[in-house]
Structure 1
Amino acid sequence: MTLFRQIYSLLFGLFLVVVISLAYVQFTETQSFLTKQMESDLNNTSHSLGIMLVPDLEAGDIVGAETLINVIFEGGYYQQVKLTWLVDGKQQVWENDVKIEGVPQWFIDLGFFETIKRESTITSGWIQLANLEITAHPGFGYNELWRTLTNAIIVISILFLLAIMLARFGLTWILRPLHEIAEHAAEIAQRKFGPDMAIPKTSELKSVVEAFNSMSHQLKQIFSSLDEEVTELRKKNLVDQVSKLPNRQYMMGRLNSWLSEPNNGSLMMAKFDWLEEVHSKYGYQVRDETIRLLSEKMQEQLDEIAPSVIARIAAYEFAFLITSAEQEQSSKYLHTLIRTVNQEISKAGCKPNEQFAIGIAQRTDNMTVSDILAQTDNALQKAIADNKVFHWFESNEKQLYTREQWREHLSAAISSKQFQFKWQPVYHTNKDEVVQRELYCQLTIGDKEIHAGQFMPYVELLSLGSMLDRCLIETIVDNGLLERNYEPIAINLTFNSLSDTTFHQWLNKFLRNTPLAQRIVFDIPEAGVYSDPDACQALCNIIRDNGAHFGIDHFGRQFGSMSYLQNLRPSYVKLDQSFAYYDENEHNSELCRALVNVARGLDIQIIVTGIQEQPQLARFEPLKANAYMGYIYPPTRVEL
């Protein structure tokens, strides 16, 4: 029972006790007063009637005596009058039935008034003429007592209703700070740190509110400290201090993650020997300033062409990972890079198109990190040997389809729902049970089986992401996968779906009409959260309000604050695959522990990804992650 109801019940009980006590006192006082009044009236009547009857009794006038008694008896205040003549013993009796109008019979039967009688002897001098016995009628007492009781009940009821209303409003106003404290405590339990509560005027509650505000500040400070720790570790371990770009370690982690995801793109390596000339002419300070300015210009110019990661991997070497682009777009990226570098070379007083070389390799199917690094390095060495600005590694792999052919095939597959599915189990760390199953799709075109890595880049490129997500969600529901599988099914949402308001509206309606919506979970890429936080917030609210769940995929990949976790409040996070080799690198392990602490501090489940074998999983035991996934349990085909 809530404190409000307890206090309300106590006041209600005390009010009833007081009212009942007052009513009882009033009732008994009224009963006693009416009894005394009837006794007094009976005494007066007996005395006066006895005096008035003396002449008739002395004369033996029976008719006159009866007439006199009838006048008094017909007033209705007497139940019985009995007159006994002592001369001859004759007895006359007048009686009224005990019927009282306007008073319930059950009330009369309670017998609040005892029978009141007065007996007197009428004398004339020393001679006794007759005995007179008068019994009072209780009607007057019951009428007055009933009227008093009903009036009291009406007044008490009105006062009671007023008291209840006033008590409710009064307690609500008085206990409002406690209600705010309860809401504030619930928000703190969910790791939501809002503004301070206003200090109430009630002295007893003032100290409680101040304590809560202090606790909220401390918890918020702890989270901020963890967030700052992550930021500092990233700057220390993953950022080049001169250029402020990611370093070699970060680039290698991104390469591993990029090649394990369905994507296309290319890798470029550039060697800028002209920076060494700047160093020899002007010193290391000018060289470092030139590197910083060059890095800023490259980020500013190249981010407009295609999404990429630019890293400084050695003193005069840079790497450019174009994470999603066709060869034509990569070529435009390359020429923009050359133009930007030449502009900075000219500013430094060196000759354009000299003393730098770029090697490029396009991503192909089933490529490993060592493969693409070797191809890119070979292209770079070829450009240096031929004294060219760039060299593109020639791949024998031909493009499967043109862009328009991909559009045609993908649109047809989405409209007819021709996708096949595989899913990969996510296992609990301490139990041999599946936490969720992550869904993957593939496509058959003609006699060719096309995996997601081949067609997903074109889904994003052709802005078909929201249509594909809608198709996949409808397919798993229509084919009864939610009924057949008790574990939640995780669906990776595309970037297009995150910002598509039409998809948001459709998903809201779809989940509302889906009985087992709680068995659907959605993976939202962390990059999408940073690129459009408002749209992600709206989408997450829709998912949560309809009983489904969501998590953050590639957690820890992006550079930025982790404060978005407080706003979105995901159910879980999936660590980026770049952390899969935890504890093999000291810097990597420090950052991984800090990220896990941030998520755990907000009561968010941690899922480790990229686990290939049991010894690798054992290295994560100190982190006490909640679950893990990877090719230690490879995807299996889903039978529709």
Structure 2
Amino acid sequence: MTLFRQLYSLLFGLFLLVVASLGYVQFNETRSFLTKQMESDLNNTSHSLGLMLVPALEAGDMATVETMVNVIFEGGYYQQVQLTWMVDGKQQTWNNAIRVQGVPQWFIDLQLFPTIAKESTITSGWIQLAQLKITAHPGYGYNELWRIMSNTIIVFSILFLVAILTARFGLSWILKPLHDIAEHAKSVAKREFGPDMVPPKTRELKDVVEAFNSMSAQLKQIFNSLDQEVSELRKKNLVDAVSNLPNRQYMTGRLNSWLSEPDSGALLMARLSWLEEVHSKYGYQVRDETIKLLAEKLQQQLKDVADSVIARISAYEFAFLITNVEREQTSKYLQTLIRTINQEMIKAGSKPNEDYAIGIAERIGQSSVSSILAQADNALQHALQQGRIFHWYESQQQQLFTREQWRVKLTEAINSKQFRFRWQPIQQVGSSKLLQREIFCQLQMEDKVVHAGQFMPYVELLSLGSLMDRCLIEKIFEDGIIERIEQPLAVNLTHQSITDVNFHDWLAKFLKDNNHQGLLTFEIQEATIYGDTEACESLCRIIKEYGASFGIDHFGRQFGSMTYLQSFRPAYVKLDQSFAQFEDNLHNAELCRALVNVAKGLDISVIVTGIQEQTQLARFDSFKVQGYQGFIAPPENID
């Protein structure tokens, strides 16, 4: 029971006790007063009637006696009059039944008034004429008692109602600061740190509010410190101090994540030998300043061409990872890169198109980090040997289809729902229990099964993401997959679906119309949150409103604050696969631990990904994560 109800019940009970006590006292006092009044009236009547009957009794006039008694009997509240003649012992009795108008019979049956009778002897001098006995009728007492108590109850009821309403509103006003404290405490428990509460005027509550404000500020500071720790560890471990670009370690991790997912793109490696000349002429300080300015220009000029990661991997070498692009866009990226380098060379006093080379390796089909790095390095070495600005590594592996062929085939596959599903279990750490299953799709194309890694890059390139997501979600329900599971089923959403308002409306209607039993969960990439926070918030509100849940994929991959977790509040986060490769790297382990602490501090489950073997999982024992995913438990076909 709430404190408000306890206090309200206490006041209700006390007021009821007071009213009942007053009512009881009023009832007894009124009854006692009416009893005394009836006794007094009876005495007066007995005395008066005795005096009036003396002449008639002396004369033996029976008719006159009866007339006088009837006048008295009918004019007052008398139940019985009994007259006994002393001469011959003759007795006359007048009776009146107990009938009271306007008073309930049950009230009369309570026998609230005792029988009141008065006996007297009528005399004339020393001669006794007759014996007179008058019994009072209780009708007057019942009438008056019922009237007074009815009015009293009405007045008490009105006062009671007014008092209860006043107490309710009064308590609500008095306890409002306490209610605010409770709501603030709930927010703090959820790690939602809003503005400080205004201290109330009540001294005791003021102390509590100030204590809560202080505690909230300290918890907020702890979370901000964790977020700051993550930023500092990232800067220390993954950022080049001179250029403020990601370093080789970060690029290696991104390559590993990129190659483990269905995507397209290319890796460019550039050796800028002209920076050595700047160093020899002007010293390392000018060289470092030149590198810093070059890095800023590269980020400014290349961000509008394509999504990419730019890293400084050695003193004079830079790597450029371009994702989700085809050769045409890669070529445009290369041209912009060359133009930007030439401009900075001119500013530094060097000749353009000299003393640098670029090697390009496209991602075609399945590849590994070592192989694509080798391809890019081979292309770079070939450009250096040939004295050319760039060289494009020509892979012997051919694309399965052209872009237009992919458009036709994917559109047809989406319209006819030619997809097959596999799912991968996500295990709970330390037990065999499944936390959820992540679903993957394959494309049934004629007599071949095409894996997501082959067609998903073209889904994004051809802007078919939202259409495909609709198709897959519908097919999940058509195939009855939701009905066959007990754990949540995770569905990855494409970037286009997250930013498409029409998809938001469709998903809201679909979740409302279909019974997903709360087992449907959607995964959003962290990069999309940084790229379009507003669209992500809109979609997440819809997902939560209709009983589904969502998680953040590739958590920790992006450079940025983790404060978005406070507003989004995902059910879980999946650590980027690059953290599974930290091995014995102490700095990476510290960064991973800090990321886990940020999520766990907000009561968000943490799942590590990219786990291939038990030794990798063992490295996370001290982190106390909730689950793990990887080819240690590979995807399975859904029968």
User: Shorter-normalised TM-score: what interval?
Assistant: over 0.9
CA distance in 2, matches of 1:338, 1:446: 43
Aligned to 1:57: 57
Listed one character per residue, the Cα deviations across residues 137-162 of structure 1 (whole Å, up to 9, x for unaligned) are 00000001111121112112212221
Aligned match of 2:94: 94
Q: Is the 8 A contact 1:86 1:128 kept in 2?
A: yes
Q: Deviations over 1:404-428 (max 9, x none)?
A: 2212111111121111111111000
Give 3-state SS (helix, strand or coil) of 1:148's partner. Answer: helix
Partner of 1:263: 263
Structure 1 residue 52: deviation in Å? 1.0
> What SS is found at the alignment partner of 2:311?
strand
Match of 1:158 in 2: 158
C-alpha separation between the residues in 1 aligned to 2:27 and 2:414? Answer: 84
Q: Distance in 1 between matches of 2:301 and 2:638?
A: 44
Alpha-carbon deviations, 1:411-468, whole Å to 9, x = none?
1111211111111110000111111111111112223321111111111112111111
2:577 is aligned to 577
- Residue aligning to 2:186: 186
**What CA distance in whole angstroms lies between the structure 1 residues aligned with 2:202 and 2:412?**
69
- Per-residue CA distance 1:22-80 (angstroms, 9 max, x = gap): 00000100000000000000000001111111111111111111111111111141001
Find the counterpart in structure 1 of residue 78 from structure 2.
78
Q: How does 1:307-322 map to 2 (within 5 A)?
A: 307-322=307-322
Measured in 2, the distance between the counterparts of 1:277 and 1:423 equals 55
Alignment-derived partner of residue 588 in structure 1:
588
Q: Which residue in the other structure is 1:218 paired with?
A: 218
CA contact (8 A) 2:556 2:595 kept: yes
Check whether the contact 1:99–1:139 (CA below 8 A) recurs between aligned residues: yes
C-alpha separation in 2, matches of 1:545 and 1:430: 33
Q: Deviations over 1:479-507 (max 9, x none)?
A: 11111111111001111111111111111
Query: Which residue in 2 is equivalent to 1:499?
Result: 499
Q: Structure 1, residues 496-535: CA drift from partner, whole Å, max 9, x if none? A: 1111111111111211222234111111100011011111
Aligned to 2:293: 293
Q: Is the Cα–Cα contact under 8 Å of residues 31 and 145 in structure 1 kept in the other structure?
A: yes
Q: Which residue of 2 aligns with 1:558?
A: 558
- Compute the displacement of 1:246 (Å): 0.2
Q: How does 1:522-561 map to 2 (within 5 A)?
A: 522-561=522-561
- Secondary structure class of the residue paired with 1:352: coil
**Conservation of the 8 A alpha-carbon contact between 2:583 and 2:616:** no
CA distance in 2, matches of 1:300, 1:321: 16
- Secondary structure (helix, strand or coil) at the match of 2:581 reads coil
CA distance in 1, matches of 2:536, 2:579: 25
Is the CA contact 1:307–1:322 (under 8 Å) kept in the aligned structure 2?
A: yes
Task: Return the alpha-carbon distance in structure 1 between the equivalents of residues 50 and 506 of structure 2.
Answer: 101
Is 1:331 paired with 2:331?
Answer: yes
Of 266-275 and 176-185, the range deviating more from structure 2 = 176-185
Identity rate, percent = 69
Alpha-carbon shift at residue 583 of structure 1 (Å): 3.9
Contact 1:246–1:311 (8 Å) recurs in 2: yes
> How many residues in Structure 1 have an aligned counterpart in Structure 2?
639
Say which SS state the counterpart of residue 188 (structure 1) adopts. Answer: helix
Determine if the alignment matches structure 1 residue 201 to structure 2 residue 191: no
Q: Which deviations, in whole Å up to 9, do the C-alpha atoms of 1:239-262 show, x marking residues without a partner?
A: 011111000000000000000000
Aligned-residue CA RMSD (Å): 1.0
SS at match of 1:518: coil
Q: Which amino acid aligns with 1:137?
A: H
**TM-score, normalised on structure 2?**
0.99
**1:517-565: CA deviation from partner (whole Å, max 9, x where unpaired):** 4111111100011011111111111111222111110000000000000
Cα pair 1:85 1:129 within 8 Å, conserved: yes
Match of 1:230 in 2: 230
Structure 2 counterpart SS, 1:424: strand
CA distance in 1, matches of 2:231, 2:290: 25
**Residue type of the alignment partner of 2:271:** K
Pair 1:8 & 2:29 matched: no
Structure 2: 5+ residue stretches without partners: none
Instruction: Within 5 Å, give how 1:423-462 maps onto structure 2.
Output: 423-462=423-462
Corresponding residue for residue 281 of structure 2 = 281
**Structure-2 separation of matches of 1:321 and 1:275:** 22
Q: By how many angstroms is 1:168 displaced? A: 1.1
- Structure 2: how far apart are the matches of 1:130 and 1:509? 102
Q: Which amino acid aligns with 2:509?
A: K
CA deviations on 1:544-600 (whole Å, 9 max, x unpaired) are 122211111000000000000000011111000000123421111110011011111
Q: Distance in 2 between matches of 1:214 and 1:550?
A: 33
Answering whether residue 107 of structure 2 is matched by residue 107 of structure 1, we say yes
Structure 1 unaligned residues grouped into runs of 5+: none
Query: Following TM superposition, by how much is the alpha carbon of 1:274 offset from its aligned partner in structure 2, in angstroms?
Result: 0.7
Cα-to-partner distance string for 1:312-360 (whole Å, 9 max, x where unaligned)? 0001100000011101110110011000100111111111100000000
Aligned to 1:361: 361
Equivalence for 2:605:
605
Distance 2:363 2:50 in 1: 132
